[in-house]
Structure 1
């Protein structure tokens, strides 16, 4: 397929997908409750209001929470907020200016991470990206919440954690210039890990669960300062929040990687299992409109919201 034809096809598929996602506006409001003090957080902007509603309403069909929180990316307007309140009664919407971002990078999803860890002072917290669709039961997630253990979205290549030193050695072999691999090369030099046998979970920040702790933010600032001391301004590049999320998850007791491909990022990597067998699909980036799969899975989810 030529590059021009590929761009045209993607544009058409996006239009059709967006039209399908808007059908969530015709569904009944979400209802939710939980015996556990669980809060779920997503960062949402005008461009993904309906994507988010599919994500959160499909999630709430399978997992109970006590509170639903949204961090505005700064683009939500009065109409967007009205739609969110209509479909998720009791939703709590935050602005970035509420957050204490001192001694931390800004932008590139850092505010989302800080909001998550702020909520984690008093709640079991779940980060749910707006480009996720829940397609089936999530017993592992409900069990983690009940056991007060953490979880993180992984993939086939990183089913198990590795030591910080081992991760540093692997990353050095890659010689990667991308901020994630680049910063992981320095793990064996950070004082934060020097007297710890911490195991590193190389997962995805799109979907994580963390038991309550008042220590996460202080650990985050400590880690960020040590990374910046090692690599300088590179630490402010897109992707450093992903590394930081992995580190916080890795330092959380009882952390586990969700089973892949039952919980997956679509096409990252490719799974030979039918997509319909997955319980959670994260439709990230390039492959979001591949074979109209996001549209199909979202349509099925919306049909369940009766």
Structure 2
């Protein structure tokens, strides 16, 4: 009975949340500019149009960028494009068929990562998931951009990077079948990591920043090929893009983990600090409907856009 009640409660909370998010359509268009060569990218589909507008418009209240880019998940239509263009003037919308996905898996957000790293050839790039809400000043992000350093969303358990060997040793103890842990336990077997002494940032691909470099895509292709050689078709499963994003971040000089819980994924892990004290909150999956917290934080953000 409790499982059924939880499902009903989640559906009710989702309905209320979706209705609240639509109020972002009544806010003024975003304005943005930046003295730095910064672009921001999100993957967006019809189902999360208003979620995305809350994410990007709340972000642009605090951080300036040169350009805003969206990669369609294949479901955006002309009406969606009009809504996006109205609220984010000059927005650039991309489609997966623009990308060179040779030697890379397809689906499971891999096109998003390839698009991000394509843009990173000439720009400082930021990846922003559509289920993020900005709730306060982002001083650490501004500083990283100004210093031309990267950043990644982390958590309490992984405050600091570890060596690739250490990550492999830790993952082997988990005996995990999930693609992330399963991949990480093979790190000590990859030639790519024998060529460097880099340390691994075990973060979240939902929010990252990378300084410009033409080397990311070649590294990604090399890493993906070596990983597929180690674990076979399993490398095509959901979650491999997350591992790859972490690896690219780890190989970017000057990378830093954003402080937790100021920058957090809601309830991953739980924090003793009130959620409203966080500056950036990533509301992943159905957890966004727990206690109507996503609705509350998003509504506050929308009120700041008027």
Tell me which interval the TM-score lies in, with the shorter structure as reference length: over 0.9
Give SS of 1:291's match: helix
Corresponding residue for 1:98?
Answer: 98
Structure 2 matches for 1:120-135, cutoff 5 A?
120-135=120-135
Give SS of 2:218's match: helix
Q: How many residues align?
A: 306
| TM-score relative to the length of structure 1 | 1.00
Contact 2:10 2:286 (C-alpha < 8 Å) held by counterparts: no
Corresponding residue for 1:116?
Answer: 116
Give SS of 2:126's match: strand
User: 1:286: how far off?
Assistant: 2.9
Give the root-mean-square deviation of aligned CA atoms.
Answer: 0.5
User: 1:195: how far off?
Assistant: 2.6
Corresponding residue for 1:297?
Answer: 297
Corresponding residue for 2:199?
Answer: 199
Tell me which stretches of 4 or more aligned residues in structure 1 moved more than 3 Å: none
Corresponding residue for 1:217?
Answer: 217
Give SS of 2:259's match: coil
| TM-score relative to the length of structure 2 | 1.00
Distance 1:276 1:243 in 2: 29
User: 1:288: how far off?
Assistant: 1.1
Corresponding residue for 1:282?
Answer: 282
Distance 1:198 1:2 in 2: 47
Distance 2:121 2:266 in 1: 32
Corresponding residue for 1:11?
Answer: 11
Structure 2 matches for 1:22-33, cutoff 5 A?
22-33=22-33
Contact 2:261 2:273 (C-alpha < 8 Å) held by counterparts: yes
Give SS of 2:40's match: strand
Q: Which runs of 5+ in 2 are unaligned?
A: none
Corresponding residue for 2:48?
Answer: 48
Corresponding residue for 1:233?
Answer: 233
The answer to whether the aligner puts 1:154 opposite 2:169 as a matched pair is no
Distance 1:254 1:141 in 2: 13
Distance 1:39 1:209 in 2: 10
User: 1:196: how far off?
Assistant: 1.3
CA deviations over 1:179-214 (Å, ceiling 9, x no partner): 000000000010000131100000000000000000
User: 1:95: how far off?
Assistant: 0.3
Structure 2 matches for 1:70-109, cutoff 5 A?
70-109=70-109
User: 1:39: how far off?
Assistant: 0.2
Corresponding residue for 1:2?
Answer: 2
Corresponding residue for 2:253?
Answer: 253
Distance 1:54 1:124 in 2: 22
Distance 2:83 2:286 in 1: 28
Give SS of 1:205's match: strand
Distance 1:276 1:164 in 2: 35
CA deviations over 1:114-154 (Å, ceiling 9, x no partner): 00000000000000000000000000000000000000000
Distance 2:193 2:47 in 1: 39
Contact 2:45 2:74 (C-alpha < 8 Å) held by counterparts: yes
Give SS of 1:286's match: helix
Corresponding residue for 1:39?
Answer: 39
